[in-house]
Amino acid sequence: MRLTVDGQAFDVNADPEMPLLWALRDFMGKTGPKFGCGIAACGACTVHVDGQPVRSCSLPVGEVTGAVITIEGIGSEGRLHPVQQAWLEEQVAQCGYCQAGQIMSAVALLDQVADPTDADIDDAMGGNLCRCGTYPKIRAAIKRAVVLKTSGI
């Protein structure tokens, strides 16, 4: 099957039942999305499909019809997405394992709601678990990203 991931086309010869996460990690070298639970309970594997945040650990690769964007596709060193820049400035990460998923959920939130309330943040980010407890900084970084985005960074 053919997939578009981070703007690049991949021909993947995998079991269509295989979750998108493992196709990304084991077949396409996209290790940014992380394996945490396999049952869509922790959000570490969050990627965008057609702009929507999805838990790639629970979406069969054979059912993917739209373009996939991972953490590696939204920005990179020297060319950070405003949400990544906000994460850097707020020094959010501790172990960092969940942060790719957190950032992808936050990017999707800000694409839909330009200036989210605390309740919006709770709703959008509740599916992303962090065992280091970086939640206060995640909230602060989302608010900082709003400012960075409106100032055109």
Partner 1 sequence: MASVGKIARRTFLIGTAAIAGGIAVGYYYYRKPYPNPLEGDLAADEATFNPYVKIGVDSTITIVAPRAEMGQGISTTLAAMVAEELDVGLDQIKVEHGPASYAYFNAAMLEEGGPFAFFDESMTAEIVRAGMGVVGKFLALQGTGGSTSTLDGFGKMRQAGAAARQMLIAAAAQKLGIAAADLETANGSILHKASGKSLTYGAVAATAATMAPPADIRLKDKADWKLLGKPQKRIDMLAKVTGAPIFGIDVTLPEMLYGTVKMSPRFWAKPVKADFSNTEKMPGVIKIVPIDTNYGHGFGIIAENTWAAFKAAEAIDAEWADPEYPLDSAGISEVLKQALGTKGSVMRDDGDVVTAFADAPRERIVEADYAVPYLAHATMEPMNATAQLKDGVLDIWCGNQAPTLVRQLCANAVGIEQDKVSVHTTFMGGGFGRRIEVDYALCAALMAKETAGRPIKVIWTREEDMRHDAYRPASVGKFQARLGNDGIPVAVDMTIASPSLIASTLLRLFPSIPPLGPDKSIVDGAYDQPYTIPNYRVSGIAAPASIPVGFWRSVGCSINGFFHEGFMDEIAAAGKVDPVELRKRLMAAYPAAVKVVEKVAEMAKWGEALPAGKAKGMAFTLSFGSWVGEIVQVADTPSGIRIEKVWIAADVGTALDPDIIEAQLISAAIYGLSAAMGQEITFADGMVEQSNFHDYDAMRIFQCPAFEVAILENFHKMGGVGEVGTPPAAPALANAIFALTGKRIRILPLSKEVTFA
Chain residues in the site for partner 1 (CB under 8 A): 14-15, 18-19, 22, 25-27, 29, 31-39, 41-42, 44, 70-72, 75-77, 80, 84, 87-88, 91-100, 103, 121-123, 125-126, 128-139
Nearer to partner 1, 51 or 88 (CB): 88
> What's phi and psi for 60, nearest 5 deg?
-60, 135
User: What is the SS3 assignment for 86?
Assistant: helix
d(CA 147, CA 52): 22
Nearer to partner 1, 60 or 67 (CB): 60
d(CA 101, CA 130): 10
Nearer to partner 1, 92 or 108 (CB): 92
Question: Least distance (Å) from partner 1 to the CB of residue 52?
Answer: 19
Question: Least distance (Å) from partner 1 to the CB of residue 14?
Answer: 7
Contact of 98 with 44, CB cutoff 8 Å: yes
Question: Least distance (Å) from partner 1 to the CB of residue 30?
Answer: 9
Q: Enter the DSSP assignment of 23.
A: I
Nearer to partner 1, 28 or 114 (CB): 28
Nearer to partner 1, 31 or 111 (CB): 31
Q: Enter the DSSP assignment of 126.
A: T
Q: 68: closest CA among 111, 99, 28, 126?
A: 28
Question: Least distance (Å) from partner 1 to the CB of residue 151?
Answer: 19
Question: Least distance (Å) from partner 1 to the CB of residue 46?
Answer: 11
d(CA 124, CA 142): 11
